[in-house]
Chains A and B, each alone.
Chain A
Amino acid sequence: MVTRAEAALAERRGDLSIKGSENGQKALAPAPSDLRMQDQTVGATTIMEPMIEIRKLSLKYGEKLALQDISLDIPKHQVTAFIGPSGCGKSTLLRCLNRLNDLIDGVQIGGTIRIGGIDINDLDLEITELRKRVGMVFQKSNPFPKTIYENAAYGPRIQGIQSRAALDEIVEKSLRQAALWDEVHDRLHESALSLSGGQQQRLCIARAIAVEPDVLLMDEPCSALDPIATAKIEELIAKLKKQYTIVMVTHNMQQAARVSDYTAFLYLGTLVEYDLTKQIFVNPSKKQTEDYITGRFG
């Protein structure tokens, strides 16, 4: 089964179209056209404007193979969801995109990943530059033990913004975007840890978008939230996708169906199926996918 899925996804189109150039809104320089990778077919459609291109990615934690030969294109200004059973490698894949796995001892990574046309493992690319362009919201909300304001201003400060006025503006804007402003605007200088779990998670989102990244990675952003907070964050994601390319991991099928445009189903470190969300949920091409989605899995 795995091999069949792989075979389907490994199908390549021999088109060398030039389209990487307008990707990477700000920092990432356009890739030379001859370096563009081959396009990836997603089900019946071709992604015309991929923001992230993953090719033959595999990853080992020591001896343990966590990702195996994964190739997919993630479209710009769309929401892509990774689904799959626990331990299948969703978080690992996500963390490859901002090279957060580099921190773990004994990780070996193979294959290439391009974001906005630039190879993120390029030695010339400062890892901090990459991470400034690829923001991340974690599974477990992890605000800094600082004030709400300082949390939102952390990224901009790291980027060297010092003017109080500019920071004020950024903080307000990102908190508004994260739908948190109305709740906290009168207590910006209180500890972030005094917020509720859902507010903390939205603060983490605000913190991530304060630096205006191109890509926003969200690892189960709603796993610890109640339905109302979840709805708020889903609303937020729908709004944010106008500006950001969003990749999210979720265990909630309804959520994936509601908010995502594309869905990738992973199983035991391999990519089983990747298609338009509509397609995956209405008419999955793999039996395994269907079983998982309908809850008949395992």
Chain B
Amino acid sequence: MKRFWKSGDPFIWLSGGALALSLVMVAGLVVLVMMNGLGFFWPSPIARLTLADGKELVGQVVQREKIPQPGAPQGTPERYRIQVRVGNRDLYGADFVWVEEANIVRRDFPPDALLIERREWGNLYGFIKEVRDGERVVAQGSGDGWNALQTYLPGETETFNEIRRIEKREIGAINHAQEKIRLEIKKLGLRGPDGSPEVARLQQELETLAARYREHAASLAELRQSSRRSLVVSAAGDKEKELPLAQIVRAYRPDAMGLLAKSRLYLSRLWEFVAGEPRESNTEGGVLPALFGTVMMVIIMSLFVAPLGVLAAFYLREYAKQGPFVSAVRIAVNNLAGVPSIVFGVFGVGFFIYLIGGSIDRLFYPEALPTPTFGTGGILWASLTLALLTVPVVIVATEEGLAAIPGGMREASLALGATKFETTWRIVLPSVMPSILTGLILAMARAAGEVAPLMITGVVKLAPALPIDGFWPFVHLERKFMHLGFHIYDVGFQSPNVDAARPMVYTTALLLLLVVLVLNLTAILLRSRLRKKYTLSII
């Protein structure tokens, strides 16, 4: 036994086993997230279920589970139930129903069963009854109706997009300008009463803006008027629903689709998820604002954390006199990484938002008060809070890199007549760059996944505008933003329709993983490029 232990084999098995276990757990997590997330976009078939009591259900089967029968005698046959997404929330009240399999007498997949993704109220399942243009019926029945739908839908969608564009861009710009002028007027008022000619000029400008607004409003009304085609759908349970075509995001008949068409639909839904705006309180549509907010926040954080951490590490390792005090500082920095992130969040609120943000508001934006500009949560403060949270990681990694640089290299440089700063700048910094990037990679990964401190420093469920847009000064660091991590929490646990939102949780988690992966890969590539530059580098 002793020989066996001494031989070292058990240690190899133990270490290998530990690695394998970790890998299995990580792989399991990723596979779970991938399966649940990516499967969601695939158009699964629509089933029509006829129940024993004569009722009919039309929808997609989501899952199947055993019904627990506590206390049943041995040998009782097992019973199963399935969950069906029947949609039509506005008609039935709930999206999902559970059906016991024993109660189903017939199950078929009608090829003309239609699934409509709506802009509001979730999915609609049913069969086309007729297509109308205003009051006039233009097509009847599933076949003709489907063709008519194909003809009219693109035009209606275009009109809808045009309406959205005018609302967001044109009217948005007018609102923005109006707000600025109002603040300007208020500012003049704060300075004293003698700004009257200026105020008059600004009032004049407001008038022109209001006129422009009226023009746009008129064209909007016209567009809305022109979009009057609608679809009448008969749904299971003898219900009927009339739906304006403009309300349709997508309409398709999964049971009549081939593999190619399904794949195309899959990609289109996937793309909508990544590049689209959220709908229905985030449970449908895309996550672009959250994706954008996450990446932007991580980048801003990196811009702060990299110089801060690197400089601090340089001072600690290169300049400070090593002794008990520096050791204490080092231990404190390391322990900072273990402080619960929410505490950093609280600090961020107290220090960044109230103290610094509040002061900025008082000094530079007095005209907007009491509405805070910087004195409220925003992407800048969230990034700074996270920078504070992750700075120990960068410090530790950089310090380790500095410690690994042979002392002989510094001496060689000094012996050539370089000053300490020249040595640091030309020799030490390039050599420690890979370690700095390693630290940054860890910091970014940590920041991208952090949620708790963000919830109180600037993340919101739905941000009205991205932190970067077309209005001067283009980058709006004071704005609130959306974040994938918070999105997961919000959609998964705060939404009224948890069942419908569940796939979104997985897909968003998957996307967050991908974001972290991409950010890390970029840094890793950069690092290996740096390393290659010095081939057999010692670090």
Contact = CB atoms under 8 A, between A and B. Distances in A.
Nearest to B538: A145
A293 B533 CA distance: 46
Contacts of B417: 128-129, 131-132, 155, 158-159, 211
A142 B409 contact: yes
A193 B431 CA distance: 13
A138 B537 contact: no
B416 A131 contact: yes
Interface of B: 321-322, 406, 408-409, 411-419, 422, 426-427, 430-431, 533-539
B538 A193 contact: yes
Contacts of A194: 535-536
B534 A191 contact: yes
Which of A98, A132, A144, A194 has most chain B Cβ within 10 Å?
A144
Contact of B415 (A105, A136, A193): A136
A36 interface: no
Nearest to B534: A145
Which 4 pairs across A and B sit closest by C-beta, in order of nearness? A132-B417, A142-B408, A145-B534, A136-B415
A140 B431 CA distance: 18
Contacts of A136: 412, 415
A105 B322 CA distance: 9
Contacts of A211: 416-417
B411 A144 contact: no
Interface residues of A, number: 29
A56 interface: no
A58 to B, nearest CB: 22
Contacts of B408: 138, 140, 142
Interface in A116-146: 128-129, 131-132, 135-136, 138, 140, 142-146
B412 A204 contact: yes
Contacts of B415: 98, 100, 131, 135-136, 138, 208
Contacts of A190: 535
Nearest to B431: A145
B529 to A, nearest CB: 13
B414 A100 contact: yes
A140 B535 CA distance: 19
B270 to A, nearest CB: 44
A193 B534 contact: yes
Given A128-B418, A158-B417, A159-B417, A191 B535 contact: yes
Contact of A145 (B321, B418, B537): B537
18 contacts: A98-B415, A100-B411, A103-B411, A103-B414, A129-B417, A135-B416, A140-B408, A142-B408, A144-B413, A144-B427, A145-B534, A145-B539, A155-B416, A191-B537, A193-B537, A194-B535, A207-B416, A211-B416
Nearest to A105: B321
Interface in A40-85: none
Interface string A155-166: 100110000000
A211 B414 CA distance: 13
A36 to B, nearest CB: 26
Nearest to A138: B408
Contacts of B430: 145-146
Contacts of B537: 145, 191, 193
Nearest to B416: A155
A144 B411 CA distance: 11
A154 interface: yes
Contacts of A132: 416-417
A194 B533 CA distance: 11
Contacts of A208: 415-416
Which of B412, B417, B419, B431 has most chain A Cβ within 10 Å?
B417
